[in-house]
Every structure is written in structure tokens, then in C-alpha cells.
Amino acid sequence: MSSILVVGSLAYDDVRTPVASRDGVLGGAASYFSMAASLYAPVRLVGVVGDDFKDGDIARLRDRGVDLGGLERRQGTSFRWKGTYDFALDTAETINTDLGVFGDWRPKIPSAFVDSEFVFLANIDPVIQLATLEQMRRPKVVALDTMNYWIDHSRDALLEVMAKVDVVSINEGEARQLCNTFKLAHAAREILALGPRVLVVKRGENGATLFTKEGAFWAPAYPLDETVDPTGAGDTFAGGFVGYIAECGGFEDPVSLRRAVLHGTVCASFAVERFSVDGIGAADRAAVDARYKALHDLIRV
Ligand code: AMP
């Protein structure tokens, strides 16, 4: 089966919500992505951790079948992120970022990984995303995520890498910010004009919207009684989305793209039900498929 390569952060997060907090829990874009994508296809992870990274956290990824042949362990501290949410639980406010060993790390894709057909460039410096992409042989589908920091600080490189990928996944606010517009449809048109074939705009509790040159597909979020911690929702969404596309062998059929959005939505719903990767980590494929069916029934006419 087609393999998925992910390059991104593995972190220890300190998370504050208005009702609860957790310190030093497993996070990072690559962790969330891998926990979801591994429900669909084999995942190869490229990342870096410090000598403080717990064996038990490595085991959580390994137990999910993730190939850790591209995981470097360096002397120093792992990436640490501290974020807080207000009651809207939509956008995280970063309180502190401590890059640790992540700071001067430049991903080196192991030779056994360069032929991966599906690639996810998680939120990371776009210059590094470009350098990563150049090491890949001929990937079939490349997807990219980013954040407001890179829109502000590394805009030219971000636009350059966006032009080279197939799928851009971005938050609603970031899409507006990138294109300096209040109108999402305008932002979508502008981003697609850069080169990607597919744009996925994540809209938190309001779901996600898929844009292609042919049109748009609006998916609601999976209805949950309670959201505990929205951290990692976007990366888990990407894991379900790219995972499903890899399982299908690509997205030439436009229906598979719409289904991929629902799979991303469902995976994200598991992630936000608990802190850290605990929610998506407890989900298996049967649980995902049951929620997929329920979500599909909800939007069917
Ligand atoms: P999400 O909520 O999907 O946007 O992703 C949250 C995860 O991204 C957290 O677990 C953080 O550890 C990680 N993260 C936050 N800021 C950065 C950054 N600048 N670079 C890489 N990963 C980050």
C-alpha cells in the first residue's frame, strides 16, 4: 500500500483552556497527523526530539505502526509549545514557543523514504518545507499546512512552496490574512491561482471547506457534546484527509476528495474530545467509519 511521509514537529505542549489545563503532554503536528493517518496507510515520520523525550511517547507512535526511521534524537530539549484558548475554542493564542533541538534542525529524508508517494509538510518554516520537497523523488500528492507566524515572517518562501504542492490546508483566519481579504471565496481563488489543485480551509466548529478550480464543498464539523482541547485538530484533520487519499491511491475522482474532507473532519472530532493525542490515539478504524457514516447521514438530502 502507498506510504505517507510526514515531516514536522514532535512536541511537549502546555495547554490552557477556560476549564482545564495540561502541562508537558505529547503534541506536535507530526504526532497528531501520524496518529490519524496511520489508520489508513503506512506512515513514515521525519522529525527531531531531544533527550528529554519519553520512550513511552515514542512507543505510542510505534504501536500505531508509524515507521520512525527518520526520527532523530539529539542532545537538548524537545520542542515545547504553550498555548491558550478562550471559550470560543477556535484559535490558539501562543504564549510561548521553545524550539529546543527543533531550532537548527534541517530534515534529512532517509533514502528508504524518498520514494514515498504521499507527503505531508506539516507546519514548519517554509524554507525547510521547500528543502524537504527537493529531497523527494516523485511524490504523487504533496499537502502542506502552515500558520500565521510564517505568513507574517516568511511570506515569499511560503508562496513559493504553496506553488509546488497539490493541497494547501489552512485555517479560515489564515486564508484571509494571507490574501488580505475578508471574503473567503476571494482568498480561495487567490490561493488556487498560486498553483495548488486543492485548498482545504479549516473552520473549527463550523467545519471545513474544500475548494478546487471546479467548485467548492462545504462540510460541517462532526457534532460533539463537548470539546475538551482543540489543539492538533488541524493536523489530525490533515491525517484523516491525506490518509484517505493515500488509501484511494490519489484523488483523481472528485468524490474521493469530498470523502477525504469527511474523514479529516471525523478524525479531528476524536482529537478534540481529549487532551493531547489521547482522543485520536484511542480511536480505531471502526470508530472512524461509524462516525463517517453518521456524518454522511447528517448531510445527505
Ligand atoms: P494545530 O492545533 O493543529 O494547529 O496544531 C497544534 C500543534 O502544533 C501543537 O501540538 C504544537 O506543539 C504544534 N506547534 C505549535 N506551534 C508550532 C510551530 N511554530 N512549529 C511547529 N509546530 C508547532
Per-residue pLDDT reduced to its tens digit, 217-266 = 999 999 999 999 999 999 999 999 999 999 999 999 989 999 999 999 99
Q: What does the mean pLDDT of the chain come to?
A: 96
Note whether 202 and 170 are within 8 A (CB).
yes
Between strands 118-121 and 4-7, the pairing is: parallel
Per-residue pLDDT reduced to its tens digit, 65-96 = 999 999 999 999 999 999 999 988 888 899 99
Per-residue pLDDT reduced to its tens digit, 102-141 = 999 999 999 999 999 999 999 999 999 999 999 999 999 9
What's residue 89's pLDDT? 82
**Is the beta carbon of 145 within 6 A of some atom in ligand 1?**
no
Substitution candidate for ligand 1 out of 6, 7, 9, 277 with most atoms within 8 A of CB: 9
What's residue 88's pLDDT? 83
The structure's pTM equals 0.97
pLDDT at 1 over 80: no
Between strands 141-145 and 167-171, the pairing is: parallel
pLDDT at 145 over 90: yes
Strand order in the sheet with 11-16: 21-27, 11-16, 79-84, 93-98
**Rounded to whole angstroms, how far apart are CA atoms 194 and 70?**
31
**Rounded to whole angstroms, how far apart are CA atoms 243 and 139?**
15
What's residue 263's pLDDT? 98
What's residue 78's pLDDT? 98
What's residue 33's pLDDT? 98
Q: Of all atoms in ligand 1, which is nearest to the CA of residue 233?
A: 3
- Let me know how many helices (H) and strands (E) the chain has, helices first: 11, 13
Query: Nearest-5° angle of CA 226, CA 83, CA 61?
Result: 75
C-alpha cell at 14: 502546555
Buried b (16+ CB within 10 A) or exposed e, 19-56: eeebeebbbbbbbbbbbbbbbbbbbbbbbbbbeebeee
- Centroid of ligand 1 to alpha carbon of 23 (angstroms): 15
- Going by pLDDT thresholds of 50, 70 and 90, the confidence category of residue 209 is very high
What are the distances in angstroms from CA 221 to CA 144, 263, 291? 21, 11, 11
What's residue 193's pLDDT? 97
**Is the beta carbon of 234 within 6 A of some atom in ligand 1?**
yes
C-alpha cell at 181: 481579504
- Centroid of ligand 1 to alpha carbon of 232 (angstroms): 7
Give the residue whose CA is nearest to atom 16 of ligand 1: 81
Give the residue whose CA is nearest to atom 15 of ligand 1: 81
**Is the beta carbon of 81 within 6 A of some atom in ligand 1?**
yes
Eight-class DSSP state of 197: S
